[in-house]
Amino acid sequence: MLAAAALVLLGPSVAPTAAAPPSSAGGSVAGRTVRAIAPADQDAAFAKRRQDAETKGLIDADGRVTGSQRLGLRGWPHDDTGYAIRPRDLAFLGLTWQQVEWWRRYQAPLGTNPRQFKDMSSDLFKALCSACERPQDYDVRLQGSWAFFFSGRHKNFPTEAELAGQPAALERLRTWMGSTPPDERPARRPFETLYKLGALDEKGLPVGPSDGDFHIASDVMVAEARQKWDELKDAGKLSDEDIRKGFIHQKYHFVNRTAVREAFPKLEKWAVAWKEKLGRGVAPSLFPSSGPPDKTQVGNGVSTHFRDSDWIVKFSPAR
């Protein structure tokens, strides 16, 4: 259903051509000159913007908006280079000032309202531990653009060159950004950018709404999942892909999803139910209690290790 809706956004004249890979080359798109730009992490203008934003206290050393959940407030949304969300961005993304305030006050991640988020969180803890006599055994944190407003540095803001094969998405980008020079645009994608553009993924399929990512850290759950993994493996019920990736994913370090799904059917049921209610995927990932490892010095530096600025989902008694 979501894919069909995205196809309507694209319009009947758009052929399913996947987005081109990022490029720093310039050229002409539909008769207009596209200026060559460096990748965001190498762009001098972005580097200066980030330095200025850090100096002013708008973002922290990790590129996150300053503030804290403990105080119940954080600053206006900026990306990790200091780009501040503007009214035109909110209008294009279909976000209201009220939604931004809920986000700033940790009352609801983007794409939800406070009532939904409270109910979803309560239902999650019921799925994890029923009466939850020891809620401290379950550390739950939000990840992704619904929690941070912008995607990480591995998801740069799209350019005209990258959307050259997608006329409808390209025109929407131009309508949104107008004549704004590339180095005055966001460096990263705000929440649901590709979905709102009506863009296509690398397989030529419409990009859907952003998922809601939950990171669950619990040694108790990991032990149960390990037991289920061993049972499934002994019974020959794991796929070749499961075996190849292992119990702990080698790249992303979460516990095997098949083992988690089989060990915790209530968690799977919770995710499916809230996907239907929100109209977006809900993606729980399981880690040991120490959380994901710190990978800031590995590869592109994207890391979801525990930080003081994380959005922690609080346990509340069942409603």
Q: Tell me the domain boundaries of the chain.
A: 37-312
Pick the closest to residue 144 from 297, 282, 6 (CA basis): 282
The CA distance from 24 to 10, in Å, is: 26
Residue 30's pLDDT is what? 36
Helix axes 114-129, 265-278, angle to 10 degrees: 170
Between CA 297 and CA 139 the distance in angstroms is 24
* CA–CA–CA angle 271, 277, 278 (5° rounding): 85
For residue 300, the model assigns a pLDDT of: 77
pLDDT score at 298:
83
Q: What pLDDT score does 21 carry?
A: 38
pLDDT at 39: 64
pLDDT tens-place values along the chain, 319 residues long? 333 333 222 332 233 334 333 333 343 333 333 344 456 777 899 999 999 999 999 999 999 999 999 999 999 999 999 999 999 999 999 999 999 999 999 999 999 999 999 999 999 999 998 766 787 899 999 999 999 999 998 899 999 999 999 999 999 999 999 999 999 999 999 999 999 999 999 999 999 999 999 999 999 999 999 999 999 999 999 999 999 999 999 999 999 999 999 999 999 999 999 999 999 999 999 999 999 988 888 887 788 889 999 999 998 765 5
Q: Residue 299 has what pLDDT?
A: 80
pLDDT in the model for residue 29: 35
What local confidence, expressed as pLDDT, does residue 133 receive?
A: 72
Inter-residue contact 273 to 30 (CB < 8 Å): no
- Separation in Å, CA 37 to CA 46, 157, 181, 190: 11, 12, 10, 19
Query: What was the pLDDT predicted at 3?
Result: 36
Question: What are 97's two structure tokens?
Answer: 């000032």
Q: Residue 281: which residues within 8 A CB-CB, separation 6 or more?
A: 208, 209, 211, 212, 275
